[in-house]
A and B are shown apart, each in its own frame.
Chain A
Amino acid sequence: MGTAIGTWIGAFLTIGLFSWMYKENAWFRVVENIFVGASLGHLAVTGYQSIVDIAWKPALQGKAIMWLPLIGGFMLFSRWSRKYTWISRVPMGFLVGTTAAVVMNGAIKAQLIEQAAATMMKLNTINNIIFVAVTLSATIYFLFTLQSKKAEPVINLGKYGMMIAFGATFGQTVMSRISLFTGRMQFLLFEWLKLTPGG
């Protein structure tokens, strides 16, 4: 029974969102707001639960170091006061610093060294030659101080390489959106209306 009600609610919300294709309407607006509200509500609850599990409970059990993130998090709320907004800069600075450190740690290896190493390949196949030529020319495209006419063909090669990449990204985005649509249609046809493929 619960599943059936859930399916009907799902169908009501899905068709409400699809109704935008005809024109903007109240049903669509209601569903859109439900979606935003539910997402934020869910995020708030899971966020709250994380604070309780990761910091609050251990702090109460005597893990004193856990008071630091709790106090730091509390200090962030001072942004609401003009007079005391400076207090929030301390945890904010800490957050920016630690995030940068955490990201840099892995990014240098995974996204700089490994990626650069992957472009150093034997030029024994057409694919490899294209790969290296486009990588180099696309990088040269971003050397904005290089304005020489002689470098133009190289810069153009980089530009066309990037345009092909943007085209591929567009194609993949279309693929994603159609998947989303077919997924919802599968839900409406087979879970809600209980139809079967092949009639």
Chain B
Amino acid sequence: MTTTTSVQEDEAPVRAMWRQGLEVFCENRLALVGVAIFALLAAFSFLGPIFYHTDQVHTDLAKVFLSPGTAGHPLGTDGVGYDQLGRLMVGGQTSIVVGLAAGLLATVVGTVWGAIAGFAGGWADAVMMRVVDAMMSIPALFLFMLMASIVTPTVPMLIVIIGAFAWLGPARLVRGEALTLRTREYVMAMRGMGGTGGRAVRRHIIPNAIGTVTVNATFQIADAILYVAYLSFLGLGVPPPAANWGGMLSDGLSDTFSGHWWLLYPPGIAIILIVLAFNFIGDGLRDVFEVRLRRR
């Protein structure tokens, strides 16, 4: 009997907390717009090809640079005859997958690194954070290009390359959180009762830093999508027939002066929209977590 009541008592506040968080998130109208944009773009990219069949592997040189509105090609075709609308779907898949995966990879690695450094303190902290400082002082794009010139960029490789250097931001953030959290009474109490450092990191530091980390993760995803675009522009994106919005956009650059605007603006707008969407979502999440901190 006592166990059931305690379980109920435990669960009710958790559910209330989630509901309250959701309410705060929904009050931020831009955050909802962000979620809607992301849902629409994701549906367009992943579900679109089910309804709209195009050949995105074989080129068709008889059908290059068809204008939008040509029969069967509502958004025209590009310089090798790929249907532009279908290509936007395929490209969106890569951009979204790489963005999400690299952002999440960076967040996980950074969180663990920062939590350990912040909790360990002393020499370990100093060494671990100087490594972060050193890597941060190498401008990201230079490092990405250096890596991309050594290994052939494929989608998993891009994720690893971007993720391997984007974790520095979250690492700094979590380390800062960990430094303040480790001196909190409940963490010290747990340590006093014989809890290990690992337990402190797993049970207290990471769960408490989760708010900051989540907010940061959304911005990481936005940045990762931009990085893919930059790497494509610099000629080190995934090679054709694979596509991503950034690569389509940079291919479109050379076509602008020939008047092929449909190759430029659609991928450009798609990138802007998805980066904005993740920024809006991040702002909404920040409201959620900050409110909770204030009410405590």
**B is bound to A:** no
